[in-house]
Amino acid sequence: MPDQIKWVSTQMEKLNLPEVDRPTGLGEKYEFPDDPDTLTSNKLGQLLLRITAYNSYVVRVIGSVESDVLILETVYKELLAKYRRDNDFGKMTSDAFENLAAVSDKEISEVRDRLVKRQALLIQLKSFASMYQLQYAALSRELARRGQELKMG
């Protein structure tokens, strides 16, 4: 683990910000209703809170992974620059150079592998955050609609 990642972790601990606990129900599947009328207002509210908890947690994880990606990208670029400086490759495309460096240098290969894995994880996490936000918005609109009906009715 690069020293920068440890430094960020230490700084976050020093801030002593309250963290969101892992929500209950992680790893379980839940049903998102295709007909919100099947849910009572209480069940709708519970589902809203559950989705909010999932989204809050995934946003926290996204922040941590984005921080790692930023650091790994910087370390990777520094290692490539050093490798280019120490070796004469003549004219070569940057993709070809990066591939050659990753095959030839174990440290570059390891950092690149960690970086690619974190970038892929980040894509998945962001898709979950987006899904939770869309579901929250839909359920919230339904709850507001019900509130309006009660006022009018």
Q: Is the pLDDT of residue 153 over 80?
A: no
SS3 label, residue 62:
helix
List all residues 6 or more positions away from 145 whose beta carbon is below 8 Å from its beta carbon.
none
Q: What is the mean pLDDT of residues 53-65?
A: 95
The string of pLDDT tens digits covering residues 83-139 is: 999 988 788 888 999 999 999 999 999 999 999 999 999 999 999 999 999 999 999
The dihedral of CA 8, 9, 14, 20: what is its sign? positive
Q: What predicted TM-score, i.e. pTM, was given to this entire model? A: 0.85
CA 25 to chain centre: 19
The string of pLDDT tens digits covering residues 24-47 is: 887 888 889 999 889 998 999 999
User: Do residues 76 and 108 lie in contact, with contact meaning Cβ atoms separated by under 8 Å?
Assistant: yes
Distance (Å, whole) CA 136 – CA 44: 10
The chain-wide mean pLDDT, for the chain, equals 91
User: Do residues 108 and 80 lie in contact, with contact meaning Cβ atoms separated by under 8 Å?
Assistant: yes
Q: How confident is the model at residue 55, as a pLDDT?
A: 95
Q: How confident is the model at residue 67, as a pLDDT?
A: 96
Q: Is the pLDDT of residue 1 over 90?
A: no
